[in-house]
Structure 1
Amino acid sequence: MTKIFAHRGSAGTHPENTMIAFYEAERVGADGIELDVQLTKDGQIVVIHDETIDRTTDGTGWVKDFTYHELQQFNAAYKFADQYGVCRIPLLEEVLAWICSKPLLLNIELKNSLIAYEKLEQKVIDMIRHYHLEDRTVLSSFNHNSMALCHRLAPVIETALLYIEPLYEPWHYVRVMQAKGLHPYHRTVTEAFIRQARHHQIAVRPFTINGESLMKKMFQYKVDAIFTDYPRQAREVLKKTP
């Protein structure tokens, strides 16, 4: 059955990439959570999507230009502040310490396409190993060089390739990259594509699947997993999908 990953937590209903968004994902029955990681000025792994803090907090500036301590002054619940008060940008370690006692799967997206964070791959892998989460974590990125490096550093941790435009013969490419999964933009996904992926034993997890009709279509295709901002709604749609 198709797995449901809560995209940046329950990002449609809670402040994205915050602990309360991850708590909500577990509460509503998501199979896993997806989050994004970058490095602070002092080398801490923080959970945030954009390279700047402008959109998701009440501050401005580049993540890389702040220490972790400095980032704590900003409210990551900015868009939802009236509902949820103050939420801080979490450390990856905070999330892993919480999730290690849960049955949840984990997808960590490395946000290193725009900024080449030094040793981000090694730092993330070390943290995954520390919490013994190798067997239920998928690493993904639009930076496929980074995914090749992750595989060299930790062959036992699954890697997946994020992409937006259709790839030609992705089955061969994914094998060359020694990845196990494809994470395509949903508009590139067809039923025939999923059949081929299954034949080649490649996991397909499209993003970002919001809206009932799109959820239903992906469930009918029997994709391996979806990433959605609305895990509660996805769970309800999945129950009704034959």
Structure 2
Amino acid sequence: MTTIFAHRGASGDYPENTMLAFTKAIEAGADGIELDVQMTKDGRIVVIHDETLDRTTSLKGFVKDTAYEKIRTADAAGKWKDSFKGVRIPLLSDVLRFAERADFLINIELKNSVFRYEGMEEEVIKKVRYYGLEQRVIFSSFNHESLALCHALAPEIERAVLTMDVLYRPERYLASIPASGYHPKLGTPAVSAEVIKHLAKHQAALRPFTVNRPEDMKQLIKAGADAFFTDYPKLALSIKEECCN
């Protein structure tokens, strides 16, 4: 059964990476949420996709150069500012506290490919363990060295390789980290029924991003994809129900 992850929450209809988007995704019945983390100037882990505040908030500048006390005042409605004015950038701990009271998966993307964010892995792992969510969290990153460090620090937490490229013998590459998830971009040759079956034989999961077209959702569900990430979890769940009946 294909698992539906809400990409940055229900971000097709609500401001991305906000508690509102995460809450709406879970209310819609999503199996899990995906979120992105960056580190502030004073070492706090905040949930935001870009390295800068410019696109999604009322502030400007790099997250890494801004203290949390300032970031917490930002309006994070982004393009939805006329409809959802006043939503805030959450801390990772805000989301984990919410998850502690419910039952869903959390894919935490470590956004440390542009800036290294020294100590990010340790801080994120500490918070996941504090809330006892080790078995419900997946760490993903385009920085595969970071994933290897996550394995060394917390082997009990699942890891997944994010990539825009096609990997040769992906199961071997995953084993070298090690990781058990392969998260390629939809539209690349890495996403096919053949790759899904091949990885399944090696106990690895293919979970492509970002899947927003109904025809792509149907194709992946019928091919037996372990999961996919979508901005429209409600739509994906209705298609999943249709495919399974």
After superposition, the CA RMSD in angstroms is 0.8
Find the residue that maps to 1:162 and give its secondary structure.
Answer: strand
Shift of 1:78: 2.6
Which one-letter code corresponds to 2:130 in the other structure? H
- Runs of 4+ residues deviating >6 angstroms: none
Which deviations, in whole Å up to 9, do the C-alpha atoms of 1:80-119 show, x marking residues without a partner? 1211121111000011011111111110000000000010
1:62-101 pair list within 5 angstroms: 62-101=62-101
Secondary structure class of the residue paired with 1:189:
coil
**Separation of aligned partners in 2, 1:78 and 1:107:** 22
SS of aligned partner of 2:96: helix
Q: Kindly report which structure 2 residues correspond to 1:1-242, keeping only aligned pairs within 5 A, or say none.
A: 1-187=1-187, 188-242=190-244
How far off its partner does 1:239 sit? 1.0
Distance across 1 between alignment mates of 2:82 and 2:232: 20
One-letter amino acid matched to 2:9: G
Deviation at 1:228, TM superposition (A): 0.3
Q: Unaligned regions of 5+ residues in structure 1, if any?
A: none
Mapped partners of 2:85, 2:15: distance in 1: 10
- SS of match in other structure, 1:173: helix
- Give deviations 1:153-202, integer Å, cap 9, x for gaps: 00000000000110001111111111111111122301111110111110
SS at match of 1:83: coil
CA distance in 1, matches of 2:208, 2:38: 22
Quick one: which amino acid aligns to residue 113 of structure 1? S
Q: Look up the SS of the partner of 2:82 in the other structure.
A: helix
Worse overlay, 65-74 or 116-125: 65-74
Q: What is the DSSP-based 3-state SS (H/G/I as helix, E as strand, rest coil) of the residue aligned with 1:151?
A: helix
Query: Could you list the per-position Cα deviations for residues 125-156 of structure 1 after superposition, in whole angstroms to 9, with x for gaps in the alignment?
Result: 00000000001100000000000000000000
What secondary structure does 2:81 align onto?
Answer: helix
Letter in 1 for 2:149: L
Q: CA deviation at 1:73?
A: 2.3
Q: Which runs of 5+ in 2 are unaligned?
A: none
Q: Percent identity?
A: 50
Aligned residues: 242
For 1:150, give the aligned amino acid.
C
Q: How far is 1:74 from its partner?
A: 1.5
TM-score of the two chains, using structure 2 as the length reference: 0.97
